[in-house]
Amino acid sequence: MKKRMLWIIGSILLITAVILIGAGNYFYSVAINRHHEPISLHGGSEPASGEEAREEQAKLEELVKWTEGKQFDSAEVISEDGLKLSAIFLKNEHSNGKAVILAHGYKGNNTQMPGITKYYYELGYNILKPDARGHGKSEGDYIGYGWHDRKDYQIWIDYLIDKKKAKNIFLHGFSMGAATVLMTSGEELPIEVKGIISDSGYTSVHEELSHQLKYLYRLPAFPIMQVTSIVTTLRAGYSFTEASAIEQVKKNSLPLFIIHGDKDELVPTEMANELYEAAGENKEIWIVPGAGHTEGYTVAEAEYQARLKDFLRNAIQ
């Protein structure tokens, strides 16, 4: 009887382990492994309709026309682990050494963010827009969610200093790109880097993926996230817990501007408050009323521009 009970318990444990390993590899393939299929995320923005949609379309067409009229040059660097990383660079004749690195979000690429690109250009900035590893034209077979990307951004910063003679550099990211610049902020950066702007960034990969798991699959984070994190460590070289923006901002000494919509369900708004509380003294936060995920610039463009312009000016001074 005792042997039978041990056999049953062992079989249950073995089956459970097989199921969890299968689940971990499945979620790795969905969320971490590079692929080009669109991903549905909880809290993604709903498309506009009616007059609002027509206004957005007209503005987008204007931005496309502006973008097509500018000469974006290709740029490449090699990451610490030997990946060829790609970016586009827009030179501004009036930059006087001012430059910004714009970081796109999950499954995005460097052709995005046209509105903020145009605004930085109007402010006289050179603009560098990298494709994150595992995205666009950059190499890489996994998505780093900002963690390994933080090292890539140190290389891009050096590129701007060495190749483009940048003297005042800002990092401005959206969603995953926001987490990327937050994670970069905790590294040792050259004095040319003057400030960090995070729009809709998450606290950590573990917290954000747990949030998505809860709402998309109605599943608890434990133990699936822990198993998927182990799979990610083995296959991509990082764990979900170490990939933490909140731990990195604790080490940041640069001016920090956190922007987040109060209607953001993809990256919950409370994450912005947690990041702000964890950061040092030189910081500010703006919770944009009525804005969903990365919608602050769309919902309150004039105020966004004014607040950003003040932050940039004060950080340089």
Burial (CB count <10 Å: 0-12, 13-18, 19+), residue 53: exposed
CATH code, domain carrying 120: 3.40.50.1820
Which of the four pLDDT bands, split at 50, 70 and 90, describes residue 39? low
Domain enclosing residue 82, as ranges = 72-204+243-316
Percent of the chain surpassing pLDDT 70: 89
Which of the four pLDDT bands, split at 50, 70 and 90, describes residue 104? very high
**How many distinct structural domains can be found in the chain?**
1
In a domain, 185, yes or no: yes
In a domain, 108, yes or no: yes
In a domain, 55, yes or no: no
In a domain, 48, yes or no: no
In a domain, 41, yes or no: no
At 60 the pLDDT is 87
In a domain, 168, yes or no: yes
Side by side, the strands of the sheet bearing 256-261 are: 72-78, 84-90, 126-130, 98-103, 168-174, 193-199, 256-261, 283-288
Measure the CA–CA gap between 177 and 238, rounded to whole angstroms: 18
Q: Does pTM surpass 0.85?
A: yes
